[in-house]
Structure 1
Amino acid sequence: MTDAPSDADKPAHSQALLAQVTALPPLPGVYRYFDAQGQVLYVGKARNLKKRVSSYFQKNHDGTRIGHMVSRIVRMETTVVRSEAEALLLENNLIKTLNPKFNILFRDDKSYPYLKITGTRETYRTAGALPVPSLAFPRMAYYRGVVDRRHSYYGPYPSAWAVKESITLLQKVFRLRTCEDTVFTNRTRPCLLYQIKRCSGPCVDLVDSEDYGRDVAAAERFLRGETQQVLDELEMRMMAHADRLEFEQAAEIRNQMSALSRVLHQQAMESASDRDVDILAVRVLGGKACVNLAMVRGGRHLGDRPYFPAHVDDATQIDEGLGTEGGASPVAGADPLERVHVRVLEAFIAQHYLGTALPHTLVTSHAVSKALMEALTEQNGARVHAVHQPREHRRAWLDMAQKNAEIALARLLAEEGSQQARTRALAEALGLPDDNLDELRIECFDISHTAGESTQASCVVFEAHKMQNSQYRRYNIDGITPGDDYAAMRQVLLRRYGRIAEALRAEQGEALAEAPERSDDAPDPAVVAAAESAEPPKGPRMPDLVLVDGGKGQVSMAREVFQQLGLDLALIVGVEKGEGRKVGLEELVFADGRPKVYLGHDSAALMLVAQIRDEAHRFAITGMRAQRAKVRTGGSKLEDIPGVGPKKRARLLQRFGGVRGVAAASVEDLATVDGISAELADAIYRALR
């Protein structure tokens, strides 16, 4: 018989936190856990807050992901709601905004493109009476952004390619214009699109507004899926022209019908019964997951897009450790991998469709919970249902989505495997520890300026087998001789590692002070070793490798800085250009006296070094250019000056011809502009200097 875990086996939590857990009500709600630094660890929902939250602190979770998370909890917040559906919506809203470390998290990317037909809501019905020709002839366009009620929008499409493919299709069949209004109003002869029969030439009056309006209406019906009605109307128009012996016009419509028939034949995934449907397939493999979203709009399959969530292992193991609440998963008794698939799919549906319109039908590769569909129905204001085992054309859609999810996940794993192979190759080439390559951290520095102007240093970070953009840093370099790259490198290394070195020394001093003395008045060597290996508790840690873009000169400067700070010289590696500065001939230069190393032009280790070095160079160049542009336009932008709003800014720019003119103006000149007081003129004058 196994004994219950003793209090000593459980993580230590404050009495205030445990009292808060005890006082929770048995009501539905959402809970959030925080660590000592105030970072959100986990967001969860519960039908019974007291029962669910208590299970974290009453059980022994040692040696598991959930145990690791629970040991870091120092604070908790809860919100009581009216229903489980409301809790689910709030949970996923918080997950998207707080980015907790242990939840399945999908990047919020709903910026889908649309196909726009301009002005059709109000203008094309009365186009013949409109004074502006461009409004009488609506145009098709690719669009991404906020919608305007004056125009019609069709989609969303999963990719820009899908929109442009649809525009090409409509050009072939309905010959609508795609040119900008400024081009349209200034044409004197038809463009190439008219010559290749992709446009009817409204810019030079080769089609009247009434006929063009009919083509626009037919195109819109086609986009809504009313293809048979479009064909019937074209046939009627063709027969009417033939009855009037207008055989050229009848032939044009016949060609239009033929083009549309070919399009419908090629659109193998078309359905007359399903207008708007989303198809979702999930695939989990190797600790990674992919959800493939395919879209059907107006009965036409528009393509798909893969999504890759973060924290899959952590979140699913925490869920497994706690067990499932009633109704949380329709496959609670299934095998663990099946439950992971369902959790990933439910997380995607909840986060992706939160706060946005969605189709009434979702075709899914796995069954999802009724509570989730009820929450989406409540949000949407109309019933949303999920089809788990579809038939006929829906089955074909789902099979295709599943295949694409497998392909996308295999590609991701191959890319990550290649990057991991590069990391291992570099570790082997430089003799770095390879027992935990997932935590290998490389920082790379580069200096950029233009003839000494706007000098900036960049620091980029490579960790967990990929570039960590959120940890990049730029440093403005001041107080050096313009163009002195060595002084710039010295300054950035001192600023980057000075605080870390100071924290390391303080940590070592505390460890030595607390160590018991030996009989020979010397501290215990084990304690000394532990102190020397100590790291600062907060802030950035020392990397395993410091790359500098340069040869002996830059490496020598880095060595001086590290000697001054008391840091390990073996961390420094310089990337020296090879003969003729050719790519692939770079050599590695070491600060600790080791001989140069040439890795070989096809070396995986050199590929990784070049990738990190090039990213540091790119990051430094973009920062330098932005800084230089700011300096050359007066240092401070007008919009940053308190009291200068859009209207006053427009008046200033109009009066003085631009920011440079405003910067060159005197206080008296600035005060002559309408709305600019003497005090504000003085503030503008000082801010731009």
Structure 2
Amino acid sequence: MFKTQQDFDLSSFLKNLTPYPGVYRMYDGEGNLLYVGKAKNLHKRVNSYFNRGAKDLKTQTLAAQVNFIDITVTPSDYEAFLLESALIKKHKPKYNILFKDDKSYPYLYLSDHVFPRLSGFRGKPRKNGQYFGPYVSLVSMKETLTLLQKLFVVRQCEDSYFNNRSRPCLQYQIKRCSAPCVGKISEEAYQLQVDLLARFVSGKLSGILQEVSTKMHQASENEYFEEAARLRDQLILLTKLQQQQFVDKINDRSFHVIGLLGLETKACITVLQVTQGKVTDDKSWIVNVNNNTESELLEAFLAHYYLDEHRTIWPKEIILPKGHKVANSLLQSVEQRADSKIRWLIDAGADNAKWQKLAMINAKQKLQINLQSMSQFTTRFLALAKWLNKDNIHRIECFDISHYQGEATVASCVVFDRGGSMKSAYRRYNIQNITPGDDYAAIAQVLERRIESGIEAQNLPDVIVIDGGKGQLKKAQQVLHAYKQEHNIQLISLGKGVERISGKEDIFLGFDDQPHHLPEHDLSFLLLRQIRDAAHDFAIKGQRKKIAKRQNESVLESIPGVGRKRCQALLRHFGGWQELVRASVEEIAKVKGISHKLADEIWHAFR
């Protein structure tokens, strides 16, 4: 249980703290995790926060809030780096430098199956199996996936599709799959392909050619001529690839280049992936500086990116930004994680200097674009605040209602702050128990749900924008009045206006029946229309998904003998609508409780 100030003696804790390496976690009086840090010497590092002397504002603010400190001693700096990285990603402490887009990293994934499936994957790895990556971008992962599909005959289909095949699919015909689903390859031979693929992706090509050649001759001697021919074709492709790689190594090398630039309150870190002398991919992160030095940002990034627990692909060389010091313990930890020596270049000369310059140019361009975009939003927010005669506006939310002929009603909520759209805060609401087509009731329902949750979470917006006229606005006013928020939240609605074109809308303010008009290019008007359009697009996408699902459900449940339970059984068996629609009569009949006659009716219903 979390300790309070009454039973935690900070001075005694600091005095008796261990000098071993480890990770420390700082909490406030409410039990919220403020900061996670690592240390070679926990005693020196943690005490430094509370010693007298000059400290930056961030450290002073953090130390003033600390109510309790917890530590974890680790065997070495390496384990401390790994644990710190994992804790930051899991808990997202307020005062840590966060690179929040882990889930966007693409991987290759080999499933944990008797006949493993090879596929692309984005997100946090959760399923059992082998992961290869992360790749710098989705494009590079897909290119690698395409190459592997040509080299190794490993299946790419979903398990639900694989489990219900009665004959080979097109992938087998074009030699992109060995059709394990119908017994065209033995488990042993398939596992060989999986092992070869895993070694190939990990960069261990040297022994693969000899192994394939040996297996090919064994198959020929045993008169498995079809298998021998397939291995021969594979050997030819691998040989050509190795020859190409040999030529490329002579001409140039492959490596990562990191660029770093800080301007104002933001910093940009860019990674360029250089393959055979050409930039094949790049990725960038924009982070808040928060009084951290650029070297501290660089170290935080290296720990985040290269100490990822699922990383399996490593560059042989990494060119770091010029003029920045990086702790040797961190570099050693990355090499230990990679289980190989990495060439680190900081004071690069000649040819490497041009790559450093290119990475810096990329970082500068992306940071300037981000700051310009932020500046535009800040200017528009200030213009809107001035027009509304408000001191400040930090958060705007816009709601829109979408339905299809009165059915499948969906409400969307988009969120913007001074930095732009906050897509992680976007929400869709399924509207229920209203008269079909009643947009007024839909607005009332979604605002009730939003304000109730906002009061509890203490994250209510300063401004709520509604796509609609006086009717929707009055319903919204009633909701705000019921929750006593009429003085805290400014209501705005955008009506279509007489001409019903963008730029000529009627603007209605909450608790004011008079329409207002602004010039088409007024900054505050541009902001309101941009937010309204985002809400409209978000609602339409959600409503279309709902309609597609309902149409499929309607088709299936209209068949005599198919009720809710059988519908769910079919979807569970095939893993979704897409595979069910594709399935043959024989495959559908394999589902428990589905006769051959009923399967035939289901198959014809989708045709």
Same fold (TM over 0.5): yes
Counterpart residue number, 1:310: 287
Equivalent residue for 1:557, pick from 472, 475, 485: 475
The answer to whether 1:110 aligns with 2:105 is yes
Counterpart residue number, 2:493: 574
Counterpart residue number, 1:443: 397
Counterpart residue number, 1:619: 538
1:62-461 pair list within 5 angstroms: 64-106=57-99, 107-108=101-102, 109-111=104-106, 112=135, 113-114=140-141, 115-116=143-144, 117-118=147-148, 134-135=174-175, 217-218=239-240, 220-222=242-244, 224=245, 226-227=247-248, 272=250, 275-297=253-275, 299-313=276-290, 316=292, 340-354=293-307, 355=309, 356=311, 357-365=313-321, 366-434=324-392, 440-461=394-415
TM, length-normalised to structure 2: 0.68
Q: What is the CA-CA distance between 1:282 and the residue it aligns to?
A: 0.8
Q: What is the CA-CA distance between 1:148 and the residue it aligns to?
A: 6.0
Please give the alpha-carbon distance, in whole angstroms, between the structure 1 residues aligned to 2:320 and 2:503: 48
AA aligned opposite 1:433: D
Are the equivalent residues in 2 in contact too, given 1:102–1:311 (CA < 8 A)? no
Q: What is the CA-CA distance between 1:586 and the residue it aligns to?
A: 1.9
Distance 1:45 1:151, change over 3 A: closer
Counterpart residue number, 1:547: 465
Count the aligned residue pairs: 479
Distance 1:406 1:592, change over 3 A: same
The C-alpha deviation readout for 1:77-133, integer Å capped at 9, x for no partner, is 32111112321232123223332221122232432324343466568xxxxxxx977
Unaligned runs of 5+ in 2: 107-134, 154-170, 179-192, 203-230, 597-607
Please give the alpha-carbon distance, in whole angstroms, between the structure 2 residues aligned to 1:444 and 1:411: 25
Distance 1:650 1:307, change over 3 A: closer
AA aligned opposite 2:407: E
Counterpart residue number, 2:7: 15
Are the equivalent residues in 2 in contact too, given 1:290–1:306 (CA < 8 A)? no
SS at match of 2:347: coil
The answer to whether 1:649 aligns with 2:605 is no
Please give the alpha-carbon distance, in whole angstroms, between the structure 1 residues aligned to 2:443 and 2:233: 69
Are the equivalent residues in 2 in contact too, given 1:60–1:67 (CA < 8 A)? no
Counterpart residue number, 2:446: 492
Please give the alpha-carbon distance, in whole angstroms, between the structure 2 residues aligned to 1:477 and 1:559: 19
AA aligned opposite 1:66: T
Q: What is the CA-CA distance between 1:581 and the residue it aligns to?
A: 2.0
Distance 1:283 1:62, change over 3 A: closer
Are the equivalent residues in 2 in contact too, given 1:105–1:309 (CA < 8 A)? no
SS at match of 2:47: helix
Please give the alpha-carbon distance, in whole angstroms, between the structure 2 residues aligned to 1:360 and 1:87: 24
Please give the alpha-carbon distance, in whole angstroms, between the structure 1 residues aligned to 2:173 and 2:486: 73
AA aligned opposite 1:649: H
Q: What is the CA-CA distance between 1:352 and the residue it aligns to?
A: 0.9
Please give the alpha-carbon distance, in whole angstroms, between the structure 1 residues aligned to 2:265 and 2:88: 20
The C-alpha deviation readout for 1:158-187, integer Å capped at 9, x for no partner, is xxxxxxxxxxxxxxxxxxxxxxxxxxxxxx
- The alignment-based identity, stated in percent, is 30
Counterpart residue number, 1:469: 423
Are the equivalent residues in 2 in contact too, given 1:225–1:300 (CA < 8 A)? no
Q: What is the CA-CA distance between 1:370 and the residue it aligns to?
A: 0.9
Are the equivalent residues in 1 in contact too, given 2:21–2:42 (CA < 8 A)? yes
The C-alpha deviation readout for 1:592-642, integer Å capped at 9, x for no partner, is 32743222222221221112112222232233333344444449999x989
> Which stretch has the larger CA shift, 37-46 or 69-78?
69-78
Distance 1:632 1:301, change over 3 A: same
SS at match of 1:308: strand
Are the equivalent residues in 2 in contact too, given 1:573–1:590 (CA < 8 A)? yes
SS at match of 2:401: strand
The C-alpha deviation readout for 1:197-242, integer Å capped at 9, x for no partner, is xxxxxxxxxxxx99998687445533x2514xxxxxxxxxxxxxxx
Counterpart residue number, 1:181: none
AA aligned opposite 2:461: P
Q: What is the CA-CA distance between 1:32 and the residue it aligns to?
A: 2.0
Unaligned runs of 5+ in 1: 1-11, 124-130, 139-146, 157-208, 228-270, 317-339, 501-535, 675-689
Please give the alpha-carbon distance, in whole angstroms, between the structure 1 residues aligned to 2:571 and 2:466: 48
Which of structures 1 and 2 has the bigger CA Rg? 1
Please give the alpha-carbon distance, in whole angstroms, between the structure 2 residues aligned to 1:652 and 1:555: 40
Distance 1:672 1:344, change over 3 A: closer
Q: What is the CA-CA distance between 1:394 and the residue it aligns to?
A: 1.2
Q: What is the CA-CA distance between 1:375 and the residue it aligns to?
A: 0.6
SS at match of 1:581: coil
Distance 1:216 1:84, change over 3 A: closer
Superposition RMSD in Å: 4.3
Are the equivalent residues in 1 in contact too, given 2:447–2:476 (CA < 8 A)? yes
Counterpart residue number, 2:432: 478
